[in-house]
Amino acid sequence: MTEISSELKKRLIKYQKDEMMGARLYSFMAKREKNSKNREILEHMSNDEITHAEMWEKYTGVTVNAQETTLFINKIITVLLGYTFILKKLKKTEQLATKDYNLIKNEIPEAEKMAEDENRHEHELINMLDEERLQYIGSMVLGLNDALVELTGAIAGVTFALAHTKLVALTGIVTGISATLSMAASNYLAEHADGNKNALKSSVYTGIAYIITVFFLVLPYLLFPADMYLAAFAAMIITVILIILFFNYYISVAKDEPFFKRFIGMLTISLSVAVISFLIGIMAKKLLGLNV
User: CA gyration radius for the chain?
Assistant: 25
In a domain, 209, yes or no: yes
Taking only the tens place, the pLDDT of each residue in 34-69 is 878 888 888 888 888 898 888 888 888 888 888 899
pLDDT at 24: 93
The verdict on 103 and 238 lying in the same domain is no
Q: What is the pLDDT of residues 139-189, one digit of tens each?
A: 777 677 777 877 887 888 788 778 889 999 999 999 889 888 888 888 788
Same domain, 42 and 126: yes
Instruction: Say whether both 138 and 44 belong to one domain.
Output: no
Predicted confidence at residue 221, as pLDDT, reads 94
124 touches 191 (CB < 8 A): no
Residue 188, helix vs strand vs coil: helix
pLDDT attached to residue 202? 82
pLDDT of residue 208: 87
pLDDT at 291 over 60: no
**Domain final residue pick, 91, 107, 130:** 130
State whether 237 and 121 are in the same domain.
no
Please indicate, yes or no, whether residues 186 and 117 belong to a single structural domain of this protein: no
Residue 129's pLDDT is: 58
What is the rounded CA–CA span in Å between residue 203 and residue 198? 9
For residues 158 and 174, the answer to whether their CB atoms sit within 8 Å is no
Are 105 and 203 found together in one domain? no
Say yes or no: 24 and 115 in one domain: yes
Please give the average per-residue pLDDT across 69-88, as a whole number: 83
Q: Are residues 30 and 140 in the same domain?
A: no
pLDDT of 2 strictly over 80:
no
44 lies in some domain: yes
Q: Is residue 214 in some structural domain?
A: yes
60 part of a folded domain: yes
**259 or 255: which carries more pLDDT confidence?**
259
Question: Does 1 map to a domain?
Answer: no
Beta carbons within 8 Å of 168's beta carbon, 6+ residues apart = 155, 158, 159, 162, 221, 229, 232
Provide the pLDDT for residue 147: 79
In a domain, 174, yes or no: yes
Name the percent of the chain lying above pLDDT 70.
83
Give the domain range for residue 220.
Answer: 133-288
Q: Based on the domain organization, do 256 and 144 belong to the same domain?
A: yes
Of 155, 179, 165, 175, nearest to 276 by C-alpha is: 155
Q: Where residue 133 falls among pLDDT bands split at 50, 70, 90?
A: low
Does 109 fall in a domain?
yes
Of 85, 101, 130, the one marking the end of a domain is 130
- Does 204 lie in the same domain as 82? no
45, 110: one domain: yes
Average pLDDT, whole number, for the chain? 80
Say yes or no: 242 and 271 in one domain: yes
Domain boundary among 104, 130, 156: 130
Number of domain units in the chain: 2
pLDDT for residue 1 is more than 60: no
- Asked whether the predicted pLDDT for residue 137 surpasses 70, the reply is no
Tell me the whole-structure pTM to 2 decimals.
0.64
Output the pLDDT for position 167.
Answer: 92
In a domain, 247, yes or no: yes
Q: Which residues of 34-52 are buried (b: 16+ CB within 10 A; e: fewer)?
A: eeeebbebbbebbebbbeb
Question: Can you tell me the mean pLDDT for 193-198?
Answer: 80
